[in-house]
Structure 1
Amino acid sequence: MARRRNKILVPEARSGLDALKARIANSQNPEDAKFEAAEEIGVPLKEGYNGQLTSYQAGKVGGRLGGSMVRELVKMAQENLSKKQ
């Protein structure tokens, strides 16, 4: 199976995306967020090596963390829309 790569469609947006990622990461300790998300969905994530996890389990944790970024983007969009009205 081909490796999926996330490609930015607008290269000029790189700095804005990096700033958003930093803001999300700084809003809570990224390590704490990872373990909290894993606990919520029942994935046995622990400090150090986690080779026993399936790719499905690891993806579930990563998806939860990516969801935080999407929520932040939606919040930003709503704020921008309310400012325009």
Structure 2
Amino acid sequence: MVGRRNRLLVPEAKEQVDKLKQRVMEKQGYQVSNEEDIKYEIAKAENIPLQKGYNGTLTSKQAGQIGGKIGGSMVKEMIAMAQNQMSKNK
């Protein structure tokens, strides 16, 4: 899986996904000016030594704490949005 990157199924949705990510993390108390800074803000709060550039010394557990917090929060928000939409359509 060398060179694998996370890609959106619909690339045109990137802007909205980034906005969702920022909104969800702001709800959790993280103040970030853009989507890229979110992971550094979480790493700082969790005392994980994430830095721009090479991060080969991070453990998979540390990396998972950063990505899991972001992705898990986004999934919870999307489920809540879907439930809300379904209740409106009844």
Give your verdict on TM over 0.5: yes
| Distance of 1:59 and 1:46 partners within structure 2 | 8
Q: TM-score, length-normalised on structure 2?
A: 0.62
| Consecutive unaligned residues in structure 1, runs of 5 or more | 39-44
Give 1:2's aligned residue. 2
| Consecutive unaligned residues in structure 2, runs of 5 or more | 31-37
Matched, 1:60 2:56: no
Give 2:86's aligned residue. 81
C-alpha displacement of 1:63? 1.4
| Distance of 1:52 and 1:12 partners within structure 2 | 34
Q: Which runs of 4+ in 1 moved over 6 A?
A: 47-51
| Distance of 1:47 and 1:58 partners within structure 2 | 9
| Distance of 1:10 and 1:51 partners within structure 2 | 30
Structure 1 residues 83 and 5: alpha-carbon distance in aligned structure 2, compared to 1, 3 A threshold: same
C-alpha displacement of 1:78? 0.6
Q: TM-score, length-normalised on structure 1?
A: 0.65
Structure scoring higher RCO (CA < 8 A, sep ≥ 6) equals 1
C-alpha displacement of 1:71? 0.5
